[in-house]
Structure 1
């Protein structure tokens, strides 16, 4: 009888320890998880012979899983860059700030490797400081659908990449006579490619 009791206790302890190890080694996301991201966004856009626009943006965000598959969060963009319109104009320095809300759907949230689709909307501002002339600002509003993926390298850390697939942007400058401009893009937009890392709480 004593041996049976000891065997049951030993099996129970082993089972509990094994369950704990499995729980601690679980990768991916579940309902109630909070994550903080820090992503980098690079952009380069050339349209005519001399026109060129380059940008570098740091994009932190915070998200919360309201279900196992759906996360809601807030996004920010802070960055700098340059724009050259003609060969004689020189490069104008630019600074960027944007803030918005986003929702994500994760297809396999509890896995080490998971794909997601993000729909987000944001308000932004770009300030341009030319070599000569006045400082100008362009205010904008945008909506974008972006697929992405997360790969967990540990229980709490994952690597993430994302690229815009469908986007709409509306913008207007703050100078006299400025006209409202809008654009729609469909297809992989490498000017909106991000790579970063997540920390899961």
Structure 2
């Protein structure tokens, strides 16, 4: 009888530990991903490209909530942009620091939807005009995450709401500060340059990005 009670007790504690582990989910797990964003537009003679590479490291603080931060690079180019009545090729080399938080919801099986709030900080300069660019803001985005295995997934996200404040310092010493708010942001690189150069605002990050995530 004692042996039977002992076996039953061990089985009970084993099932309890397994249930706790299952409910814990990804809590405490770390993840590493690198988001890639690329956009190319053409309007008349103006050809514009925007490339973003953003490695991110984070951890799950609950089974469905993760926090992290990314440090990456943003390159924005536009050819034949009208600056002061003359066509100019513009090339901005910028660096991005982006803290973020995510909430995940299971859609079906290994397929998840997530909402993300991020606060990107961007700094660098446009090389042709020597325009120094500093931007900080907040973005809300939605995305999908598909786990190919329990430790590897593919994710896509799109910016839905953007707030940004951009400070522009010109070579001659002048400075302009621009504040912008947009919903369902549709980025246009030519517009981004015009916004930066002429003072109508706009987020410099790419609206659509994808990446590969490793969980460990």
Say whether the fold is shared (TM-score over 0.5). Answer: yes
Contact preservation (8 Å) 1:69, 1:109: no
The one-character-per-residue Cα deviations of 1:97-148 (angstroms, maximum 9, x if unpaired) are 1102111010129941100000011211132111xxx422110101000001
What 5-or-longer segments of structure 1 have no aligned partner? 1-11, 13-18
**C-alpha displacement at 1:172, in angstroms?**
1.0
Alignment of 1:1-201 (within 5 A): 30-44=26-40, 52-84=47-79, 85-86=81-82, 88-108=86-106, 111-130=109-128, 134-175=129-170, 176-189=173-186, 191-201=206-216
Q: Distance in 2 between matches of 1:61 and 1:116?
A: 16
**C-alpha displacement at 1:162, in angstroms?**
0.6
State the secondary structure of the residue aligned to 1:31: coil
Contact preservation (8 Å) 1:163, 1:189: no
The one-character-per-residue Cα deviations of 1:125-178 (angstroms, maximum 9, x if unpaired) are 132111xxx422110101000001110112211001011000101101122222
Over aligned residues, Cα RMSD in angstroms? Answer: 2.9
- Runs of 4+ in structure 1 displaced over 6 angstroms? none
Q: Distance in 1 between matches of 2:90 and 2:162?
A: 26
Superposition TM-score, scaled by structure 2 size: 0.71
Aligned length: 177
What 5-or-longer segments of structure 2 have no aligned partner? 1-10, 12-17, 188-205
